[in-house]
Amino acid sequence: MSRREDLHPFVAKLGARIRDLRLARGMSLEQLRKKTGIVVSHLSLVERGHVVLTVGTVDRIARALGLTPMFLVLLPEESELEAVVERMGRMSADKLARMFERVSASKSLRLKKPRPRGSHGP
């Protein structure tokens, strides 16, 4: 994990996202430190976009925030897909399960092939 003097736009956005997600969960840097084992000063640099993260560090931070690494690195302002994933990430497990059931049901209805006219089979 190297410290950067010139802020890379993605690194800065990722750091801000980590900070926003941490604060949304009501976590202090100290609480995140306890969950990740990463010292507070380093976490502060991460959140300010001064540190290029390793995959392992992204994984530790994501899991400490109760997220998957993929969800952590999706930036909702980048595209519609990321915005949808962001909204889904804020849904309760019950609401996600109901939505998944509805999507699965509607998908299976569309995937059924129409029977040819005059066909009497199943």
Q: What is the DSSP string of the chain?
A: --B-SSPPHHHHHHHHHHHHHHHHTT--HHHHHHHH---HHHHHHHHTT-BPPPHHHHHHHHHHTT--HHHHH--TTT-HHHHHHHHHHTS-HHHHHHHHHHHHHHHHHHHSPPPPTT----
Arithmetic mean of pLDDT over the chain: 81
Mean pLDDT over 4-30 rounds to 87
Task: Tell me how far apart the alpha carbons of residues 43 and 13 are, in angstroms, rounded to a whole number.
Answer: 14
Between 121 and 84, whose confidence is greater? 84
pLDDT at position 72: 85
pLDDT in tens, 26-71: 999 999 999 999 999 999 999 999 998 999 999 999 999 998 898 8
Distance of CA 56 to the CA centre of its chain: 16
pTM of the model: 0.62
pLDDT in tens, 59-118: 999 999 998 898 888 776 666 666 676 677 777 778 878 887 887 777 555 555 555 666
pLDDT at position 29: 96
pLDDT at residue 4 greater than cutoff 60: no
